[in-house]
Amino acid sequence: MTIEQSQKLVDDWIKTHGVRYFNELTNMAMLTEEVGEVARIIARRYGEQSEKESDKNKDLGEELADVLFVLICLANQTGVDLTQALQKNLEKKTARDSERHHNNEKLR
Convert the pLDDT of each residue in 7-28 to its tens digit: 999 999 999 999 899 999 999 9
Convert the pLDDT of each residue in 86-97 to its tens digit: 999 999 999 998
Is the predicted pLDDT of residue 69 greater than 90, yes or no?
Answer: yes
Write the CB contacts of 63 (distance below 8 Å, at least 6 apart in sequence).
34, 37, 38, 41
Decide if domain 3-96 falls under CATH 3.40.50.2300: no
Is the predicted pLDDT of residue 99 greater than 90, yes or no?
Answer: no
Rounded distance between C-alpha atoms, residue 23 and residue 108, angstroms: 45
For residues 41 and 63, the answer to whether their CB atoms sit within 8 Å is yes
Q: Where are the domains of the chain?
A: 3-96
Model confidence pTM above 0.85: yes
